[in-house]
Structure 1
Amino acid sequence: MQQLNEIFTTLHQYIGGNNWFIFLLLGTGLFFTLYLKFPQIRYFRHAVRVVRGKYDRITDKGDTTHFQSLATALSGTVGTGNIAGVALAVHLGGPAALFWMLVTAFLGMCTKFVEVTLSHKYREFDEKGMVAGGPMYFMRKRLNIPLKNNKMIKTGYWLGGFFAIATVLSSFGTGSLPQINSISNAIFATFGVQHIITGAVMAVLLALIIIGGIRRIASVTEKLVPFMAIIYFLTAIAIIASNYQNIIPSFLSISENVFTGTSAIGGFLGAGFAFAFNNGVNRGLFSNEAGQGSAPIAHAAAKAHEPVSEGIVAILEPFIDTVIICFLTGMVILSSGVWSEKVPNQFQKTDIIVLAGSYTESSEDNVAKLSNYLNNKSDIPLYTGTLTVIDGKILDNNSIIHARSLAEDIVVKKVGVLYSGEIVVTNGSVADTPNDLIFSGKSLIHSAPLTTLAYTQSFLGESGKYVVAIGLLLFAFSTAIAWSYYGDRAITYLIGAKYVMIYRIIFVMAFFIASFVDTTIIWNLSMLTVAFMTVPNLIGLLILHKEVKSVIGSYWVDFRKEHPNEKVPKE
């Protein structure tokens, strides 16, 4: 498992975690924002009217209403990224990472408008009469290279196939595995229910819903998404208000270190600008999926007589998902102060790093060395050898990093009993030690446990953990529902609708298994699959930028003729 995790991490450094990916993502959003004159602002009011069904026609073709498509797409984005992902971004990059999440969302509103418009324009109907759409369809039809004598190089055909394969992989890496993993961890931490039991129950519920296809999925999500979003919104506001004395300092911490990075504070060993920027953008993409090409698959099913209206509806997604929900989660975490505090917890072995020497937080030089190492600026000697443990205490004087912080009060147990013996360490890793050897102590925490802790630092007290557990269950489960549909549309594109049921069975099985698999490996896998979808989609959008502008212009010409008394944005 450790080797697999290292492969995922290494690949991510060259793909999604590399600067070229970040600039491609933000650059595409910035280009279309300027090229289309800030449609995420100018069309926002119109988007609300369209999603309410004000301009619907009885003759519109599709499987779902505008609102149902928005709810389905939101159910695919409002998930662990809003609870666990925000916490992970702050844990990795400090408060400044939240700022870059918001920037990604603002630009992503325009990117999502463009990708949904194109995908809806080139949607098809499969052999069962269901809508089949998504970026793979516009790639196949519009990205081929013409040659003489009516011949062409089928680049679009191969790009569409690559995107569809990446979508299937991402349905597991983004939509299934991290969702149930976060659910099972939260339920175990809150209610003590074993991971495998949670996985089994949720897998059965998932199977009952997704077997019914997009119509049943839409009928569930249009009720589930508004309910869970409103409850989470009201609760978050109440918790932030209860920590009112930290609201202004939290706002300042987000903005004042945007271009400098966050210095070491408490157990947090610091994060440079590049680390905050990269992790904020990556977590922002994981949360709202703008540019990834997933939401267009849901929107393709919407009943509409032309594509731009559905693209305009999609503007609302990153706003609701990231600008509102993610920002609230971030403010809960920052105003509580727990993001930089070490707390007792059980260590994940893949997060443990044994150093060759001894380091202390009281030494500025030690903190600088550790910070540079954690931010990939320099190496640090890692330990290889054995650690001696007597009655649960490690006798060797080697410092141990867990969750990017110097671990304290470490206790080692085996089957619930204090352990005595030796621990083999290879290049700083203890991941190959027996599964029944458990490490615990005080360190920083991240992902869902950090958000859970933050929710307890308010008037709710320990009851706050129940809000996160239930919210995470609903958010993550709805994401898995939506991603099962994205995956089955990709399967339809690749090999036909008759194989969709086989995919759904595999999807549910993987959903169950992931409930008791290491969280770190799952997060690293999800970051890879996101990049594999995003790159071909963004390239396709940029190539077809003139067509996008032309389609939008035609939409407003027709709209003014049909609704002469309506106030519309000036082009």
Structure 2
Amino acid sequence: MDILKILKTINDWVWGPPLLVLLVGTGILFTVRLGLIQIVKLPKAFKLIFKAENNGTGDINSFGALCTALAATVGTGNIVGVATAISAGGPGALFWMWVAAFFGMATKYAEGVLAIKYRTIDANGQVSGGPMYYIERGLGDKIKGLAKFLAVFFAVSGILVALLGIGTFSQVNSIASSLQSTLGVDTKITSIVVAVLIGIIVFGGIQAISKVAEKVVPFMAITYIIFTLIILGSNGSQIIPALGIVFKGAFTGTAAVGGFTGAIVAKAIQSGIARGVFSNESGLGSAPIAAAAAKTEWPAEQGLISMTGTFIDTIIICTLTGLTLIVTGVWQGEHAGAVMTQDAFAQVLPTAGPILITICLTLFAFTTILGWCYYGERCLEYLMGVKGITAYRIVFLVMVALGGFIQLEVIWTLADIVNGLMALPNLIGLICLSGVVVKETKKYMDYLDKVK
């Protein structure tokens, strides 16, 4: 029995036209109903990252909540995921990542609003929130039985994503393969060391995770951005032609060239949107779990802060990765994943390039594991209460330790499947609660007008 073939069949069904239309359509709905909020209020959103009042109930400040969410989103999707998307769908996949991100910003805003609006406190005194709560509490009065089913379905899917998808295997495998190719470190040793380090942090709870995220995320993002700009600067004459290839490939497909076997438009769309969602998680429902822990009394305030995560992750970081792969021509080569990105860096920085990618990838993936451990924990708490948290953390660490033993393509396919299952109930909840998002947005904007 070919497990990979079976998983690919399931993945093609999960990520078929209905889910892609639902993902982008939800973003379009909020973009229209909120008056292009991702453009109009983006400057305000970036100011709030550092100047939010942080005077509401919560476990961490708004910046910590954003960094925790970014810890989970800025990960292998930005390095490996972009390379995988372009390997499968050609340069045109990058355009569809932009489309997913643009409308995804409005979706991420709505998720942040609802996370604060419907959050609660668990038996340990910690804040719990996210889609499972805003689906049940927001829709419970109207469709009680269905709302509970959707909330449970989301929570179960969230645990699966944490244990089998974004949270463990794909991240650890990326770290392990990168360290092996660059420094010759055995993948088994890497997996075990990562599991031990993660364990030291996650048993400290959300406060420990956010403290690490606040220090590591800005550093790793800025470092990666600087070095991708160096690569692009060294290939400055190729940037405009690269953009042309992106737009052309998005609408006409990409012919076979070099080691690239060619791709039709449908594959570019599917690869771009799926990888984009994998990277920025807009519509997936994960980020609002971290957003719910923010100290704020205004749901819309945290919504604005949350949507900057999608902009930083995809519009900035994924774009820089994608253009780097295209201007250096490595997308036409035989390599895929992290090695493809290493090849791009090695063209300009032969010795330091691969090492830099290894360091960035390790930090990106490590913080993603931290964020997803928390997400899965909150999903479990919704289903079972606080009694199962310690057991969950132990199982999570075991899965991390196993991450370096599994085939790369199997990992990404499995991650895509559970991501899609997680997104579905969240998107239904968002659409049904769109009126609440609009109402909370108006309330906050009226407040801002009064305090000017």
> What TM-score, normalized to structure 1?
0.78
Q: Secondary structure at the match of 1:486?
A: helix
Q: What corresponds to 2:246 in structure 1?
A: 254
Q: Does 1:12 align with 2:4?
A: no
Amino acid at match of 1:26: V
Q: Secondary structure at the match of 1:67?
A: helix
Query: 1 CA distance for matches of 2:125 and 2:415?
Result: 32
Query: 1 CA distance for matches of 2:85 and 2:249?
Result: 15
Asked whether the equivalents of residues 118 and 138 of structure 2 are also in contact (C-alpha less than 8 Å), the reply is no
Q: What corresponds to 2:344 in structure 1?
A: 454
Q: Secondary structure at the match of 2:351?
A: helix
Q: What corresponds to 1:542 in structure 2?
A: 431
How many residue pairs align between the two structures?
451
Write out aligned runs for 1:218-257 (5 A): 218-257=210-249
Amino acid at match of 1:162: F
Query: 2 CA distance for matches of 1:206 and 1:145?
Result: 40
Query: 1 CA distance for matches of 2:422 and 2:405?
Result: 26
Q: Secondary structure at the match of 2:252?
A: coil
Query: 1 CA distance for matches of 2:144 and 2:41?
Result: 37
Closer, same or farther: CA 196–315 of 1 in aligned 2, 3 Å: same
Q: What corresponds to 2:157 in structure 1?
A: 166
Displacement of 1:240 after TM fit?
1.2
Amino acid at match of 2:172: I
Q: Secondary structure at the match of 1:302?
A: coil
Q: Secondary structure at the match of 1:521?
A: helix
Q: What corresponds to 1:400 in structure 2?
A: none
Higher percent of residues as strand = 1
Displacement of 1:247 after TM fit?
1.7
State the Cα deviation string for residues 485-529 of structure 1 (Å, max 9, x = none). Answer: 000000100001121010001001100111121111111110011
Q: What corresponds to 1:354 in structure 2?
A: none
Q: Secondary structure at the match of 2:2?
A: helix
Asked whether the equivalents of residues 51 and 67 of structure 1 are also in contact (C-alpha less than 8 Å), the reply is yes
Q: For 1:289, which of 267, 281, 285 is the aligned residue?
A: 281
Query: 1 CA distance for matches of 2:249 and 2:198?
Result: 42
Query: 1 CA distance for matches of 2:213 and 2:48?
Result: 19
Q: Secondary structure at the match of 2:257?
A: coil
Q: Does 1:504 align with 2:393?
A: yes
Q: What corresponds to 2:67 in structure 1?
A: 71
Higher percent of residues as helix = 2
State the Cα deviation string for residues 378-400 of structure 1 (Å, max 9, x = none). Answer: xxxxxxxxxxxxxxxxxxxxxxx
Structure 2: tracts of 5 or more residues without a match:
none
Query: 2 CA distance for matches of 1:515 and 1:269?
Result: 28
Q: Does 1:202 align with 2:194?
A: yes
Asked whether the equivalents of residues 145 and 154 of structure 1 are also in contact (C-alpha less than 8 Å), the reply is no
State the Cα deviation string for residues 311-346 of structure 1 (Å, max 9, x = none). Answer: 1101101110001000000111101101112xxxxx
Q: What corresponds to 2:119 in structure 1?
A: 123
Asked whether the equivalents of residues 119 and 133 of structure 2 are also in contact (C-alpha less than 8 Å), the reply is yes
Q: Secondary structure at the match of 1:257?
A: helix
State the Cα deviation string for residues 287-311 of structure 1 (Å, max 9, x = none). Answer: 0000000000000000001211101
Q: For 2:258, which of 232, 255, 266 is the aligned residue?
A: 266
Write out aligned runs for 1:139-538 (5 A): 139-144=135-140, 146=142, 153-172=144-163, 173-341=165-333, 444-458=334-348, 460-538=349-427
Structure 1: tracts of 5 or more residues without a match:
147-151, 342-443, 566-571
Query: 2 CA distance for matches of 1:8 and 1:212?
Result: 36
Q: For 2:57, which of 58, 61, 85 is the aligned residue?
A: 61
Asked whether the equivalents of residues 202 and 370 of structure 2 are also in contact (C-alpha less than 8 Å), the reply is yes
Query: 1 CA distance for matches of 2:390 and 2:448?
Result: 40
State the Cα deviation string for residues 454-506 of structure 1 (Å, max 9, x = none). Answer: 11111x11321001111100000000000000000001000011210100010
Query: 1 CA distance for matches of 2:446 and 2:305?
Result: 18
Asked whether the equivalents of residues 136 and 144 of structure 2 are also in contact (C-alpha less than 8 Å), the reply is no
Q: Secondary structure at the match of 2:153?
A: helix
State the Cα deviation string for residues 428-475 of structure 1 (Å, max 9, x = none). Answer: xxxxxxxxxxxxxxxx221111111111111x1132100111110000
State the Cα deviation string for residues 359-383 of structure 1 (Å, max 9, x = none). Answer: xxxxxxxxxxxxxxxxxxxxxxxxx
Q: Secondary structure at the match of 1:303?
A: coil
Displacement of 1:190 after TM fit?
0.3
Q: Does 1:26 align with 2:24?
A: yes
Asked whether the equivalents of residues 93 and 249 of structure 2 are also in contact (C-alpha less than 8 Å), the reply is no
Query: 2 CA distance for matches of 1:464 and 1:55?
Result: 41
Q: What corresponds to 2:83 in structure 1?
A: 87
Computed over aligned residues only, the root mean square deviation of the Cα atoms, in angstroms, reads 1.2
Query: 2 CA distance for matches of 1:129 and 1:524?
Result: 37
Q: Secondary structure at the match of 2:437?
A: helix
Amino acid at match of 1:76: A
Query: 1 CA distance for matches of 2:63 and 2:141?
Result: 37
Higher relative contact order (CA 8 A, sep 6+): 2
Query: 1 CA distance for matches of 2:418 and 2:260?
Result: 29
Displacement of 1:143 after TM fit?
2.2
Q: What corresponds to 2:128 in structure 1?
A: 132
Asked whether the equivalents of residues 213 and 367 of structure 2 are also in contact (C-alpha less than 8 Å), the reply is yes
Amino acid at match of 1:32: F
Displacement of 1:144 after TM fit?
3.4
Displacement of 1:54 after TM fit?
4.3
Displacement of 1:558 after TM fit?
2.5
Query: 1 CA distance for matches of 2:212 and 2:112?
Result: 22
Amino acid at match of 1:550: K
Amino acid at match of 2:21: F
Query: 2 CA distance for matches of 1:134 and 1:179?
Result: 23
